[in-house]
Amino acid sequence: MLGYLLIAVAVFVLDQWSKAEAVRYLSRGSVHVTSFLNLVLVYNRGAAFGFLSNASGWQNILFIAVAVAIVAGIVIFLVRGGRRDRLTVVALMLVLGGAAGNLADRIRLGEVVDFIDFHIGSWHWYTFNLADSAITVGAVLLVIDAWVSRRATAAPERR
């Protein structure tokens, strides 16, 4: 199980490093990478998709509490012997590392550093970071795992 923890640690370290580099290099302006990708420095006081970003500041306490609950919940689940199949653990480690990365920003800065800007023409997706990507991939893997597990347990009943 400890070997899997390296996934969460790697996500956290890469996320924090990439954000530090974004602050260092993008404070002078955005960088056009491809026809669909820019690097641009954004400080996000909200959650995913800018949710509550315009609130008066109370949201940071809420988001810190939610992130702490997620991190604690994952750790408790794994320590108490929750499902240990590879896909579940990898997914949880991605979520854990990403949640810890954004939590560190919220505690240290009161907001999250975002810098990846995908776009198609003039339409731009919300700016995000590596932690957000890890959380999203982890969540998708958890949904896939739940779907596969449900089908596997339902299959014998159909016979």
Contact 26, 129 (CB under 8 A): no
Distance CA 49, CA 127 (A): 8
Q: What is the SS3 assignment for 128?
A: strand
Give the tens place of pLDDT for each residue, 67-79.
999 999 999 998 8
90-135 residue pLDDT tens = 999 999 999 999 999 999 999 999 999 999 999 998 999 999 999 9
**Number of domains composing the chain:** 1
| Nearest in space to 96 (alpha carbons), one of 40, 52, 134 | 134
Cα 106 from Cα 18, distance rounded (Å)? 16
- pLDDT the model gives residue 62: 87
Give the domain range for residue 117.
2-158
Task: With H, G, I as helix, E, B as strand and everything else as coil, classify residue 34.
Answer: strand
CA neighbor of 118 nearest in space, from 36, 35, 40:
36
Q: Average pLDDT for residues 78-92, to the nearest whole number?
A: 87
Q: Which pair of tokens denotes residue 122? A: 């003039």
Q: CB–CB of 51/59 below 8 Å? A: no
Are 136 and 93 in contact, with CB atoms under 8 Å apart? no
Catalytic residues: 114, 132
- Whether the Cβ atoms of residue 113 and residue 105 lie closer than 8 Å to each other: yes
Q: Is the pLDDT of residue 151 over 80?
A: no
136/156 Cα distance (integer angstroms): 31
Which residues, listed in sequence order, are joined to residue 123 by a DSSP beta bridge?
A: 120
Q: What's residue 154's pLDDT?
A: 67
pTM above 0.85? yes
